Structure 1
């Protein structure tokens, strides 16, 4: 029996500035069924407040405590480890890192920096890593669906380049990090075996959730989904469904 739901945002509830048909109604039906919801996004181009405002404009009501972002996880990591941040992120995300206390050590924080991924910024990050800075990746997705409807490079390829250069792996804070999923579940006191994840990324959302111990993960055929994605990952999705409406119906039949 399912007792908690994790929902991805981009590609599941909205595409760009447009809601995916039926998204608001699907969220409402899940809430009315008494299921606690958490919204787990790997967005690293928007602050948490910007994401909440977008959802509100689209008619999807989400409380700040229900939304989990990699930047939020990074702030917690930096504070817990006494580190200051060397940021290689999108300028729009910088407000989420304001007012951080100075730490005794340095950590390079990499997100989807878009046009800020130039040689100078990448080399500065590499030099900091080479000097011993900690290495944090907000996410390591390969691609995302851009505003023009086409796939674009996400943070993952640049994280891999820095890993290759400095010779050590990054600590990934967003999906598919097990800790990211478990933190969201802990906030609603839901065990992994009682939870379901809904996402459009077979690798980061679905396989990541299943590796984290979730009982169920549904892949929707919206957003960045491409035919055959479900055959490219292990563990494979529990089910592949048309969209968030179909996902909600699947979940509601199993509570």
Structure 2
């Protein structure tokens, strides 16, 4: 990692290939409940270099307040405007289209949607509800979708890295409903191009001036490239050695976020 002081700082800044960083949280900043070594220092150094930061996540298991508090406990301070979550995007979409969703969500974000009135549901909203994704709840969601209700997905990740290993995310359950009801989900969150465009627009820069840093070669890296951003793959979180065969050749692959600034200035 480059030393950020005096002339070294200025030289590094001149070599940076982007003006804004979009940082995934789970797998990049922290893994489970533990901060990834060097993450806090990398965020601090990026700020010192004047880079605009956005923290983007599909997680529906934590509220915005909890995410910000958890990051603060890891010595990473962020503002509300720097955080972009899939539940936030889903709520904006639901409000815009005046929908009343039947929700399959974890308790941490369920309160955002309780006022819509599920007894008159005309849409399905599915996130990482863990044990809430059971036969009864999924069958109710299937019946609504089969009757024409739109299916809204909070992200399409296949799995994530938890404290005790890889865990299924919401994506496989969304795919099951799509197949059974012969429908196509509206995806709010990564890898949706609209989600990346919303985060990029908030920076004031062009997509090509922004760089996504993620641990998911598909939902983070390839999706960001498709939206016109640059991308970096980290070998933390859900990364698997077999991913190296799938990552586009132009994408830098680094051990962790601790190497980020050096890698994007080379």
Return the match for 1:18 from 15, 21, 34. Answer: 34
Superposition misfits of 4+ residues, deviation over 3 angstroms: 98-102
Deviation string for 1:126-156 (max 9, x for gaps)? Answer: 11111221110001111111221x1111111
CA RMSD of aligned residues (A): 1.7
> Aligned equivalents of 2:122 and 2:232: distance in 1?
38
Cα deviation per residue 1:93-125 (whole Å; 9 max; x = unaligned)?
Answer: 2123244599x9722111011001110000000
- Please, what TM-score do these two structures have when normalized by structure 1? 0.93
2:244 matched to 1:230? yes
Is the 1:82–1:105 Cα contact (8 Å) retained in structure 2?
no
| Structure 2 counterpart SS, 1:96 | coil
* Alignment partners' CA distance in 1, 2:117 and 2:224: 32
Where 2:18 maps in the other structure, the secondary structure is: coil
Which residue of the partner structure matches residue 190 of structure 2?
175
Preserved CA contact (<8 Å) 1:207 1:237 = no
Distance 1:70 1:236, change over 3 A: farther
Structure 2, unmatched stretches of 5+, are: 1-16
Bigger radius of gyration: 2
Separation in 2, partners of 1:160, 1:39: 26
Contact 2:235/2:253 (8 A) holds in 1: yes
The within-5 A match list for 1:50-129 is 50-99=66-115, 106-129=122-145
Gaps of 5+ in 1: none
Determine if contact 1:107/1:133 at 8 Å carries over to the other structure: yes
Task: Return the alpha-carbon distance in structure 1 between the equivalents of residues 250 and 167 of structure 2.
Answer: 24
1:230·1:237 contact (CA, 8 Å) conserved in 2? no
**CA-to-partner distance for each residue in 1:56-96, whole Å, 9 max, x for gaps?**
11111111110000100011001111111210111222123
Q: Is this contact kept in 2: 1:88–1:111, CA < 8 A?
A: yes
Is it true that 1:200 corresponds to 2:215 in the alignment?
yes
Distance in 2 (CA, whole Å) between partners of 1:39 and 1:24 is 13
Superposed displacement of residue 3, structure 1? 1.2
Q: How many residues align?
A: 249
Q: 1:151 maps to which residue?
A: 166
Q: Secondary structure at the match of 1:7?
A: strand
Distance 1:107 1:119, change over 3 A: same
CA distance in 2, matches of 1:68, 1:108: 22
Contact 1:47 1:95 in 2 (8 A): no
Q: 1:74 to 1:236 in 2, by over 3 A?
A: farther
1:228 Cα deviation (Å)? 2.3
What is the aligned partner in structure 2 of residue 191 from structure 1? 206
